Amino acid sequence: MATADVYHEPQQLMRCGVHAANNLLQRRAFEASDFDALCAELCPSTWRNPHRGLLGNYDIEVLSLALLRQGYTVSYFDVRKPLTALPLETCVGLICNVPQSSLLGLWQSRHWFCIREVHGTFYNLDSKLAAPEVRLRLISSCVFHACVV
């Protein structure tokens, strides 16, 4: 399958969680406003929501709730287990989280992306990539937070 046939959203601000969910679902299912509404639902009475940053940077609880509302189950993966323990035969895709340095390396942040099988081929659908990247093997340097079924 040509990568042109694979849905892939590019990075905007710190909305990698939104892009990871949309890339996993292979369609534009969510906007940042949808994730903001989920944050407010998870923690309605605070002026500063702990589930997001000022420019996005949503946490796994928001991602999980968004995917649950689309009919998917999110199963957390224990990173102490070997990658061979991932149930790839039942997974729609993997939600991954990696550390990254922010502006001038002044603080550490996290970045969400997904790996998904589309028509028998696994793709790295990281929103920071210019295009989907074929994955012949899993990325061992990332923290697999969840397997989405």
126 carries an active-site annotation:
yes
What is this structure's pTM? Answer: 0.84
Structure tokens at 46: 């605070």
Round the average pLDDT of the chain to a whole number and report it: 81
| Main-chain phi, psi angles of 76, to 5 degrees | -75, 145
Query: For 119-148, what is the mean pLDDT?
Result: 74
Q: Encode pLDDT of 45-63 as tens digits.
A: 777 777 777 777 888 889 9
Long-range contacts at 128-136 (CB < 8 A, ≥ 24 apart): 128/11, 128/16, 129/8, 130/10, 131/3, 131/8, 132/3, 132/6, 132/8, 134/3
Give pLDDT tens digits for 82-96: 777 777 778 888 888
Q: What's the rounded Cα separation, in Å, for the pair 23 and 127? A: 8
Active site residue 78: no
Question: Which of these is catalytic: 19, 51, 114, 126?
Answer: 126
The architecture (CATH level 2) of 10-148 comes to: Alpha-Beta Complex (3.90)
Catalytic site includes residue 8: no
Q: Which of 8, 19, 51, 111 is catalytic?
A: 111
pLDDT band at 66 (very low <50, low <70, confident <90, very high): very high
Give all strands of the β-sheet with 74-76 in edge-to-edge order.
74-76, 143-148, 93-101, 108-118, 121-124, 133-134
